[in-house]
Structure 1
């Protein structure tokens, strides 16, 4: 578009003052960000301000507040005194899933490592990946191939054997950067035609649930997934998203009750891909629904449970009227009535 500006200026389609105003906004941000202070950034300084204790604390707090508790039948928080052996199972347990465009954090902590750091020697932690998601491909490759089921079946059997030895299971499922990426060309696609968990993850989940152990399912994903059957079987369900380098620590804090999972869903989770509409021009109507499915979403926007309970008082307005251009403040008293 920039190469057409001289001609547009000559034809009077744009003025020089408009161009200057647009350029000034960009330059202002560059000056504020310090780009013009020195042409080259010092790597030591960059590491100092992005990898110090304060930066890691901010990353940890952000991860804690992003975790959403979707189901809990009383299994969470896990009680260390009641656990002798805990099995951490799943393809997203050991790698620290950070999401696309995440850079290279110096201290990424996976869910597995976060749990081990938290419990120390108090609980024996076992691990098995259960399945492998991709046989070939990553976030930057132009070709992705799912791991064949015949290769995942032995991994599932191994995971079941590991889980059988434990008092409880943390099942970590979801997606990876290669499965939740931006598509920018016909040979580098990013969209999927299904919201189901890929690569035998549902088969792994069924095998783990069949053991009859308490199971906490943790989702680590940067794209939408549907977990209808898992929701029915699991004792607790957590949506973890891509939590950053401190994600494993934050997840362990939530699992063991050090932190209350206060996150709320920023999106609506559908029951199936058929609920995802292609257009938004339909008029409001009560005559909608599905022949063989519930019309409601699996989880609505803003949903999220807590380990504690709250009492919310009546709202109070700062003014009974609102003048044009004015503002009214609404205040409520919120009291934590639980034990957390």
Structure 2
């Protein structure tokens, strides 16, 4: 990379500059830019540009980390003790738990979810991601994989008729590794949309699996391996598919699978129920079916804000006070905010208090807040703690996440939870480039997302 940026003349110069800057490890293997240390460090020593002692120090740095990781305590593996198939089977439980906790309920306006097996007798599973293996980039090939369609079929058995149509296609085959992306002819997608519309006419509800795949959003590691997009809307003909299905006037439950947020404003305005799934791994279909049919109550929260359009980027919760002046004839807020996520039950957060409302710069305090499950289902909520420095020597964000905790509550159950506010949560680099806590007031905010309407507030004084 430093050759591309004209910082190094050639690979030998890159090796010298990287090594003398303190880079101990070089990417090795069959790579375009790697292996420079293996090829040139010996020459650099012979030419007197670096010393063996410098190499020894670099090797010590690497070995030191390996010792700390325990890699030398028992470096050998007994082949007889390797039972890979048994381990893979056991790991399915962990994979399913991770998938469950990832799924985030963005919208459930008409309370269609969760579905009961007696509620519908004919379900249509539609969409380009309904029956496609979705793992994301830099992932291996799992022994097991369950698609959305397969997971729903397994869940309902013979109790519900399940119809399937692809609806539209994003890319023709392909994988994350392939340089070439083959896009789909409009004629093919026109046919797929027509087939889907015809297929759902006899169904009672539509489960619509949309989003992207490993080819429509990926690392663009070379000019012949593109991965970035100028538009954040749903890729290809997905909005056309949504429009066609809306005309059938059946309830639509949308599932989004993607590696980064979509600016899915049309979908958001058009359907009452949306689940953000990201890439759920090998247990995709099992996890989705568990959430759809109420075997698992979703508790996921967004780790990033969803912009309303590409023009709303950058879109993040911890912005500086003057960074959000607004847009002509459009909302300034994100489509969905950092930390946001619904549940099949409801929660009330109240009675925010501080152990000490005034502390010294080197002291800490505790935040206490009550949370009650006000719905009729057991569920989990993620309580989030944000702070704001009310006045400081340099500009600070309007809020910063400083802690969170997940709490499980049965219907009507109430708990008081506590979170610490430590000096490190209040510290920042001041105008003199010093990491410090400044005196003054800090706004303490607690709630279930970063949105102002989801937070309750109090003041902490630092003296």
Using the size of structure 1 for normalisation, the TM-score is 0.88
2:303 maps to 1:266: yes
Conserved in 1, the CA contact under 8 Å of 2:122 and 2:163?
yes
Distance 1:304 1:45, change over 3 A: same
Structure 1 residue 232, shift from structure 2 partner: 1.1
Once the two structures are superposed, the pairs formed by residues 232-243 of structure 1 within 5 Å of their partners are 232-243=269-280
What's the counterpart of residue 120 of structure 2?
83
State how far apart, in whole Å, the 2-side matches of 1:113 and 1:167 are.
19
What's the counterpart of residue 309 of structure 1?
346
State how far apart, in whole Å, the 2-side matches of 1:56 and 1:287 are.
44
What's the counterpart of residue 123 of structure 1?
160
130-139 vs 148-157, which deviates more? 130-139
2:113 maps to 1:65: no
Conserved in 1, the CA contact under 8 Å of 2:131 and 2:147?
yes
State how far apart, in whole Å, the 2-side matches of 1:184 and 1:317 are.
49
What's the counterpart of residue 56 of structure 1?
92
What's the counterpart of residue 150 of structure 1?
187
Structure 1 residue 319, shift from structure 2 partner: 4.4
135-144 vs 296-305, which deviates more? 135-144
State how far apart, in whole Å, the 2-side matches of 1:315 and 1:18 are.
51
State how far apart, in whole Å, the 2-side matches of 1:272 and 1:8 are.
52
What's the counterpart of residue 181 of structure 1?
218
Distance 1:8 1:57, change over 3 A: farther
Distance 1:30 1:175, change over 3 A: farther
Conserved in 1, the CA contact under 8 Å of 2:136 and 2:176?
no
State how far apart, in whole Å, the 2-side matches of 1:298 and 1:190 are.
24
Conserved in 1, the CA contact under 8 Å of 2:66 and 2:72?
no
2:84 maps to 1:46: yes
1:283-322 deviation per Cα after TM superposition (whole angstroms, max 9, x unaligned): 7427722223222111111111111011224234444554
Distance 1:283 1:100, change over 3 A: closer
Conserved in 2, the CA contact under 8 Å of 1:149 and 1:199?
no
Q: Secondary structure at the match of 1:314?
A: strand
**RMSD of Structure 2 on Structure 1 (CA):** 2.7
1:153-194 deviation per Cα after TM superposition (whole angstroms, max 9, x unaligned): 011011011111100000100111111221111111111111
2:257 maps to 1:220: yes
Distance 1:286 1:57, change over 3 A: closer
Conserved in 2, the CA contact under 8 Å of 1:136 and 1:146?
no
Once the two structures are superposed, the pairs formed by residues 135-174 of structure 1 within 5 Å of their partners are 135=172, 137-174=174-211
Conserved in 2, the CA contact under 8 Å of 1:96 and 1:248?
no
Structure 1: segments with no counterpart, 5+ residues: none
Distance 1:244 1:317, change over 3 A: same
Number of corresponding residues = 332
Conserved in 2, the CA contact under 8 Å of 1:128 and 1:162?
yes
Conserved in 2, the CA contact under 8 Å of 1:89 and 1:169?
yes
Distance 1:25 1:131, change over 3 A: same
163-172 vs 194-203, which deviates more? 194-203
Conserved in 1, the CA contact under 8 Å of 2:324 and 2:332?
no
- Write 1 or 2 for the structure with the bigger share of helix: 1
**Rg comparison, structure with higher value:** 2
Structure 1 residue 29, shift from structure 2 partner: 2.8
State how far apart, in whole Å, the 1-side matches of 2:133 and 2:212 are.
12
Conserved in 2, the CA contact under 8 Å of 1:111 and 1:252?
yes
What's the counterpart of residue 24 of structure 1?
64
Distance 1:283 1:250, change over 3 A: closer
